[in-house]
Amino acid sequence: MEDTMVEKELIRTFFEAVNIPVCLFSGTDLLEKASHPTQDFNLPLILFAGIEKPLPPAFYGFTPEFLYFGGVCIPGTDEVLFLGPVLRFPCSMRQARQICSRLGRPAASGTQIQEYLNYTGGRQVSSILSGIRLFCRLIRIPDPEEITAVSFRWEIPYPIKAYPSVNTPPEEAVNLEHLLMSSLRFGNTRDLKEIIAKYFSSSSYQPAAIPSAHRKYILGALVRFTHETIEAGVNADTATGMMYGYIDQIMNSDTSSDISDVFFRMLTDFTQEVAKLRDLPSGSPVVKYIHDYIYNHLDEKLSPHFFAEKLNMNCSYLCTFFKKETGMTIIHYVQSEKIKAARQLLTVSDLSLVEISEFLAFSSQSYFGKVFKKYTGMTPEEYRASSGTAKVPQPV
């Protein structure tokens, strides 16, 4: 720490004051860390690596699992103070296992991840923003004029092994399945490409020796992909049409190597179909701004009037312009993005419906349920049951 302007003791004192894990980076090198006395599996380091570069002077963001983080670049140096991760609600075991799968860790590590995240307790994103401003004052640099939302994607820490080989150890297969299915559900083609690239580069990969067993395995995966794609919002006729086409390809493949090639093609195609749902049919900077703001502020109340003030535009004109450019209203787009997030929370967490509706800034649980059913055809309770997540008793 001799070559840094931030003293080691200041990092420790700052952590004790805010009770949020703190790391100091120089470039990609970790200089100092102050955190809870539990195993963190290098989670802050991996989160920092997954932020889109170059970094703005001050920033915050979150993962698909709603792990919040933030940081500030130290002027005149290549150093970055990184805060996080924090969760708004206590970490459930299901959520901890989902994070383990992202890290390539066995599900058994979920207890340690849960303990690490729950040390901090539930925190609003405002705690990250306040922490950034507090640190700036401690080291006597100006408060940031703006704390910018940044994009994040998980960086797989090491090569994935032997999927879809039927010889894969069950624990590894479960972890990789979570990674792949998460990419599909949310149309994350970038993560998927990285997983596939690392998979092909893995020398340990050996296709199943018996093509018939491999074929049966991949047919089962195809049915799962089709179901998940329809659940994500893709037209059912489109998804089932793709399924029938791939059934023919699988049945006409003679070797396990050929079957593996079909597997990756179909996984990529289904994920791209889901990704299309996120693509707005407009290159307008105004539309892009609204799209990005909604995605990064799902926990806020958002309205056409809010965006009109942000953009210094007439509200009526903005609404007409957005509808003309995208084919949907601003309200419709806000609601659809919030419901996508709600579906993920219902799937990966044990949060109550009240907590989810509050987190996504719905005015009430009943209104959340009404909007959720409008977009999915199911109540939140029905969706949670269909996803295999145990229901959580609601407060009376």
CB contact at 8 A, 57 and 76: no
Burial (CB < 10 A; 0-12, 13-18, 19+), residue 316, is exposed
- HSE of 199 in the Cβ direction (CA atoms, 13 Å)? 24
Predicted TM-score (pTM) of the model is 0.55
CB contact at 8 A, 215 and 259: yes
pLDDT at 4: 53
Sheet bearing 58-62, strands edge to edge: 29-34, 22-26, 79-86, 68-73, 58-62, 148-149
Give me 344's structure tokens: 């993920």
For Cα atoms 82, 83, 86, give the angle at the middle one, nearest 5 degrees: 145
Q: Please count the other Cβ atoms lying within 10 Å of the Cβ belonging to residue 371.
A: 19
Burial (CB < 10 A; 0-12, 13-18, 19+), residue 336, is middle
- Residue 41's region, left for phi above 0, alpha for psi from -120 to 50, else beta, is left
pLDDT at 187: 79
- Report residue 190 CA to chain centroid gap: 12
pLDDT at 171: 45
**Residue 299 Cα distances to 98, 225, 293, angstroms:** 21, 29, 11
Residue of 65, 71, 70 whose CA lies nearest to 103: 65
CB contact at 8 A, 110 and 82: no
Measured distance CA(389)–CA(64) in Å, rounded: 17
pLDDT at 10: 87
pLDDT at 214: 78
Secondary element (H or E) of residue 215: helix 211-231
Q: Each residue's pLDDT tens digit in the chain (396 positions)?
A: 445 556 778 898 888 888 899 999 998 889 999 998 888 888 999 999 989 889 999 999 888 778 899 999 999 999 999 999 998 778 888 788 888 877 878 888 889 999 999 988 777 778 898 899 999 988 888 889 889 888 888 765 433 333 333 344 444 444 567 677 777 877 777 778 777 766 554 444 455 556 777 788 888 889 889 888 887 777 777 888 889 889 988 888 888 778 888 888 899 999 988 887 766 555 677 887 888 788 778 888 999 999 999 888 899 999 999 998 888 899 999 999 899 889 878 876 778 899 899 989 999 999 999 999 999 999 999 988 886 554 433 333
Contacting residues for 386 by C-beta, under 8 A, at least 6 apart: 378
- HSE of 269 in the Cβ direction (CA atoms, 13 Å)? 16
pLDDT at 149: 86
Reduced to 3 states (helix: H, G, I; strand: E, B; else coil), residue 77 is: coil
Measured distance CA(177)–CA(112) in Å, rounded: 21
Give the orientation angle of helix 304-311 with respect to helix 330-348, to 10 degrees.
Answer: 110
**Residue 381 Cα distances to 186, 362, 394, angstroms:** 21, 17, 11
